[in-house]
Amino acid sequence: MNSRTSQLEADQTIDLRLDNPDDGSGSATQDSAAREPSQPAARRRKMTLTTRVSAVLTFALFAVAILAPIVAPYEPDIGDRSQRLLPLFSGSHVLGTDGQGRDILSRIIWGARPSLLAGVVPVLVAALVGTALGLVAGRGSRRVHSVIMRVLDVFYAFPAVLLAIAIAAALGSGISNAIVALSFILIPPVARVAEAEVSRVRSTDFMEAAAVSGAGWWSISIRHVLPNVAPAIVVYCTALVGLSIVYAAGLGFLGLGIAPPTAEWGLMVNDLRQYTFSQPGIAVVPAVVITIASLLFNLLGDGLRDWLDIRSEAQ
């Protein structure tokens, strides 16, 4: 009996693993052998190659950022005056050097730390706050719903980037202020997605059955609503990381992010901009890196959506 109940607990967690369940040959075959299901089980599709590649590359990106001290060939902040402005693929400086003779590859690698941080943390904050707002709006009374959604609409009235710049400028420069500003502007879109999903789930039959069961607001939200809205929010937020990286770089470019000697992608774009005509190869490097990183998260988000088969549950 005990093992069965613990199994029950384990099954209740949402399954968002990245490994493909089709590859696992163990328990699944055992189970289906026990009793013939009347309808084909396991509707989960195979992950596309693009999704796999972008998942691996995203993972690699994080690994490189974490292992920066080991991976980076040079010190990021200390330059060699005699090695200024070397072009791409020049000897040991694969991506060249900047105006102070610092190795650009090393700066890109070290710069991944603040850039990814400013990409991921605001999205995590926005996911938490946005989901909570969406849940309260989607399940609350009509008045609560309109108060929350109308306030969010106010933020929609401003272009997100401008709002981020305004907030970051008001708070003063620094990476933590940039993260606060970005978190703030990402909350409304997440909350909207969450609200739409909660509203969709709210009108289903099983929600009515749950309400009639006499369970409380919280337990219904946690057991019935969140597991059904989580996949869509996770997918949306994955793609949002890409956007957040671009926004963070934008703030860095304007000097509203991290302070100069430290490497950060947006800051590097600004720094190398002056060599656009003299040394065009190195000038575009950080911009290309930002583009690739942002694209990776977008592709990953798209792939996850197809793979998790975010569908209208009613079919």
Partner 1 sequence: MSDTQTTVEPVRMGRKATQPLLIVNDLVKTFGNGVKAVDGVSFTISPGETVGLVGESGCGKSTTAKLLLRTLDPDSGEVKFGGQDLLGMRGRALRRLRSRFQIVPQNPQTSLNPRLPVRSSIEFNLRAHGVPKPERVERIAEVLEQVGLPGAYGDRFPHELSGGQLQRAAIARAISTRPELVICDEAVSALDKSIQAQILNLLAEFQKELGMAYLFISHDLSVVEHISDQVLVMYLGRIVEDGTGSQLWNRPGHPYTEALLSAAPGAERERIVLVGDPPSPANPPSGCTFHTRCPIAIEACSTKRPLLKPTAGGSHAACIRTTDLQQP
Distance CA 58, CA 62 (A): 6
Nearest CA to 77 out of 109, 102, 104 is that of 102
User: Cβ(265)–Cβ(249) under 8 Å?
Assistant: yes
Beta carbon nearer to partner 1, 62 or 217:
217
- Minimum CB–partner distance for residue 311 and partner 1 (Å): 10
Dihedral pair phi/psi, residue 78, rounded to 5°: -110, 120
User: Cβ(119)–Cβ(90) under 8 Å?
Assistant: no
- Minimum CB–partner distance for residue 178 and partner 1 (Å): 36
Tell me how far CA of residue 155 lies from CA of 90, 158, 160, 237, 303, in angstroms. 48, 6, 8, 19, 29
Beta carbon nearer to partner 1, 146 or 219:
219
- Minimum CB–partner distance for residue 277 and partner 1 (Å): 57
Beta carbon nearer to partner 1, 196 or 284:
196
Q: What is the DSSP letter of 47?
A: P
Tokens of 103: 């190795």
- Minimum CB–partner distance for residue 223 and partner 1 (Å): 6
Beta carbon nearer to partner 1, 40 or 91:
40
Tokens of 90: 């020049």
User: Cβ(181)–Cβ(168) under 8 Å?
Assistant: yes
Beta carbon nearer to partner 1, 35 or 150:
35
User: Cβ(241)–Cβ(297) under 8 Å?
Assistant: yes
Tokens of 178: 């940039």
Strand partners, 171: none
Beta carbon nearer to partner 1, 91 or 214:
214
Beta carbon nearer to partner 1, 33 or 70:
33
Other beta carbons within 10 Å of 140 = 15
User: Cβ(229)–Cβ(201) under 8 Å?
Assistant: yes
Distance CA 296, CA 57 (A): 8
Q: Residues in the site for partner 1, rule: CB under 8 A?
A: 1, 4-5, 7-8, 11-12, 14, 34-35, 37-39, 41, 43, 204-206, 208-216, 219, 223-224, 227-228, 313-315
Beta carbon nearer to partner 1, 102 or 305:
305
Contacts of 25 (CB under 8 A, 6+ apart): none
- Minimum CB–partner distance for residue 210 and partner 1 (Å): 7
- Minimum CB–partner distance for residue 46 and partner 1 (Å): 17
- Minimum CB–partner distance for residue 235 and partner 1 (Å): 15
- Minimum CB–partner distance for residue 173 and partner 1 (Å): 44
Kindly tell me the sign of the dihedral angle through the C-alpha atoms of 251, 257, 260, 265: negative
Distance CA 56, CA 48 (A): 13
Beta carbon nearer to partner 1, 174 or 227:
227
- Minimum CB–partner distance for residue 139 and partner 1 (Å): 12
